[in-house]
Amino acid sequence: MQKARPESETGPAYPIASVNNALLLLLLFRDQQRVRLTEACKYLGVAHSTAHRLLAMLAHHGFVQQDPVTRAYVAGPALVEVGLAVVGSLDIREQARPVMENLNAALGETVHLGVLEGVNVRYVDAVESERALRVVARTGTLVPAHCTSLGKALLSQMTDREVADLYPTSAEPFASRTDRSITTQAALMKEIVKARNRGYAVNSGETEDDVGSIAVAFRDLAGRMAAIAVAAPSSRLSRQRIARIGELLIETIAKAPDSPRRI
């Protein structure tokens, strides 16, 4: 007796033609932005009246909308909301984790993931180095953004006006973590310009003495902004290695199959 194949290969045991055709129509919008009634008929291999009824039902529930001028159908708000809900449910840490693990394996250094919270950076995940002399994972901690490469990478994605609003000159000197921390708006703006030009931000002992890091900002599948940083003892961060790590960060994030996405 031939072994039955899984339902995913053979199709459902009790197919419902109308449901199948409606779902096929929705999948058609994955490949093209507009679908005409004649295209739906040809795609499904059904009569004009059948395709019209299917599209009318999808329109009734908001999955498609008909352009009043061209009469073509486009994706409706319900279809968009379903897609965004699924994407939004993906944890940014799950999306970034493969990239972080690849960077950790390639460089042997601690890799952090951070998001902006006002004028601070929240460290939300880390892959810690296995070296004896290493930067310890900071997951869960909150650090002034201007003292970190993560924060500077994220701030570099804002406009100058937005950064100035967050860091007004009236608030100077800004909070510092070490003698090398940035404490003025002018100095911060210079660092942000450098980050924009290079594509990555650098922290040279500004959060912790003798510790440096390099970070790149990205957006996940839901459009949320975050940054990934490689952190190491300053003794292992020559100017040449900083540049190599920065380029590797940019390249690794850009090549990620689904996410994160470089800004």
Q: What integer pLDDT is reported at residue 15 of this predicted model?
A: 66
Q: What integer pLDDT is reported at residue 14 of this predicted model?
A: 59
The per-residue pLDDT for range 2-25, each reduced to its tens digit, is 333 344 445 666 568 888 888 898
Phi, psi of 212 (to 5 degrees): -130, 170
Q: What is the mean pLDDT of residues 105-132?
A: 95
Compute the distance between CA of residue 147 and CA of residue 174 in angstroms, rounded to an integer.
10
Reading the block at residue 185, the tokens are 């708006």
Is the confidence at residue 85, as pLDDT, over 60?
A: yes
Q: Which domains does the chain have, with CATH numbers?
A: 7-87 (1.10.10.10), 90-262 (3.30.450.40)
Output 23 or 192, whichever has higher pLDDT.
Answer: 192
Reading the block at residue 88, the tokens are 């939004």
Q: What is the mean pLDDT of residues 73-98?
A: 77
Q: Which amino acid is residue 62, in one-letter code? A: G
Compute the distance between CA of residue 179 and CA of residue 77 in angstroms, rounded to an integer.
52
pLDDT band at 68 (very low <50, low <70, confident <90, very high): confident
pLDDT band at 171 (very low <50, low <70, confident <90, very high): very high
Burial class (CB within 10 angstroms; exposed 0-12, middle 13-18, buried 19+) of 26: middle
Cβ count near 30 (within 10 Å): 9
Is the pTM value of this prediction over 0.95?
no
Q: Which amino acid is residue 186, in one-letter code? A: A
